[in-house]
Each structure stands twice: as C-alpha cells, then as structure tokens.
Amino acid sequence: MHELTITRHNHLIDPSLHIWGWEIPVYLFLGGLVAGMMIISGYFLFRGRHKEVDSCSMTLPFLSLVLLSVGMFALFLDLEYKVHVWRMYATFQIKSPMSWGSWILIFVYPALFLNMLVRQPKWIRTRVPLFEKWSISLHQHPVGIKTVGVFNMVLGAMLGIYTGVLLSSFGARPLWNSSILGFLFLVSGLSAAAAFIHMIARDRWERELLAKADNGFLTIELFIIGMFLIGLATSTSVHQEAAFMLVTGTFAPVFWVFVIGMGIVIPLFLQSLAVSHRIKHSAIPPLLVIAGGLVLRFVIVAAGQASHW
C-alpha cells in the first residue's frame, strides 16, 4: 500500500501514469557508469593500487560522487511531486525494486566517501586537513582498506543490476519485462566505466588493463543483447513485437547504428588493435563506448514505453 501511495504522488513508478523524458535515461546511464567505477575502483583498492603514485583510484571516488549526484538530480527533476520523495525512506518494502534501489543509493554514498578517504587528490587534502588525518588512520589498518574495496565492489554490482531491474519489474511494458535486463545494464555500465577510466588514467598498466577489460565487457554485452532479443522473440506475440521494434522497427536504425555499430563493434575492433599494439591508443573508442551506453538507455526506455500489451 505504501508503494502505491508513492506511485500516486510521484507518478514515477508506473510508466502508464508518466511518460519518461531525458531524465530517466540519463539517471540510468550515470547510475550504471558509477556502478562500474565503484567495482573497478574497489578492485584497485583490494589489489593495493592506491599505493601507486599515478593510480586513478585517487580520483575515481570523487568523480563517482559528482556523477552520481548529477544522476540523482536528474531523477529528482523527473518527480512530479518532489516534496514526497522522503516517503521512499519511511519504510523498506522487500518486494519493491524501487525500495531496494532507494536504500542501495543511500549506502553507496558512504561507501564512496570511505573510498575517497583512502587517498584524496592534493587539492582536497590541502583544503580539508581532517580528511588527511582520517586517511592516515585508515592506512594503519590494511584489512580495513581491503574491506572498503569489497564494500564498493558489492554495492557497485547491486547498483548496476538495480538500474536494469527497475525497468524489468514493469510487466505492463513487454520490452522491459526481461530478467536479463539487469545484467545488460550492469555490463554496459562496467564497459562505460572501463572506457572512461582508460581515457583519464595516467598509469600505463591501468590503461592497458582497462582497455583489455573493456574488450571483454563489450563482447559479453553483445552476447547479452543477443540473449535479450532471443528471449523476447521466443516469448508471447507482444514480446515479439517489442523485440521487432529494435530489430526492424522504429528504433532499429538508432539501435543498430549507434548502439551496436558505433557503441560496441567499432570500439571493440579499434581497442583490439590497440591492445595488440597495432595502432596507438586514442580517446575515440572510449568516447564511442560511453556514447553507445547512453544511447542504449535512451533506446531501451523509449522503446519500452512504446511497447504495450
């Protein structure tokens, strides 16, 4: 009953009551990007990369906090009755994906803050001396740093999956009604994060590692998209019609050209040449991956709202 009350107040949970604009795709993209960055930065912490001078683990937590806040602001703009947003935190509904997501986001912020305390950029340390004292205290307990890394990886995975589960829970929209959507958005977020970090990383080992990792993520993403479409095409007639909107219908040109072609296949080809040292690394493949991840959210959200029983 509480969730239904929130739905009536905010017109957010049921897409039949509210047509989503640019805010929701942007929120889903930034949420997935931050989820991927949390998993990667958590892995770097666990591996002890924070001890390296040029490691990107120093800047990722701060960037994640900024990007997640921008995504949350986009979500807030989409709410019709913004003063009722506090109701999401007045209870926890175990069967509600929205309730899970709201509380996951609450825990993500302290996890990122703890990650940031491990090692901050110089301009933060000089302005907030207290952070440096906390960082020194944290470094006296290496197990604590590894725990922070694991905490970020687990919450990052939960956040990434949630961005897809948020849509897949809507049975009224056949295109979204797929259990694989959560894993698609998680892998897409990991791919976008690996591409972004590869583009800004100063450490050569990290750049090489993330380019190789991104190639793996892009390959898995192609496979999951194939499974997603096959699952829809082998289901009921309405699910088949939803799949055909992406394959041959209204959204097919954007889906094949910008999501599959420019967002996955071309950067996968270019980065494969780069990691084998046949061509130089450049910012073009990462930018294509990031743009493709954003377009994927717009296409899935728009096509999902167009699909119906």
**Cβ-based burial of 248 (10 A; exposed 0-12, middle 13-18, buried ≥19):** exposed
Residue 289 CA to residue 192 CA, distance in Å, equals: 6
Gap between the terminal Cα atoms of the chain:
25
pLDDT in tens, 89-126: 677 777 777 777 788 888 999 999 888 888 776 666 66
Tell me 248's DSSP state: T
Residue 293, both tokens: 């991840």
Q: What are the angstrom distances between the C-alpha of 154 and each of 108, 149, 151, 180?
A: 10, 9, 5, 19
Secondary element (H or E) of residue 220: helix 204-233
Q: According to the model, what pLDDT value does residue 48 have?
A: 84
Cβ(229)–Cβ(246) under 8 Å?
yes
Residues of the chain predicted below pLDDT 50: 1-18
**SS3 assignment, position 95:** coil
Q: What are the angstrom distances between the C-alpha of 102 and each of 62, 91, 274?
A: 21, 10, 40
Residue 173 CA to residue 149 CA, distance in Å, equals: 37
Tell me 170's DSSP state: -
pTM to 2 decimal places: 0.86
Helices (H), 97-141: 97-118, 122-127, 129-139
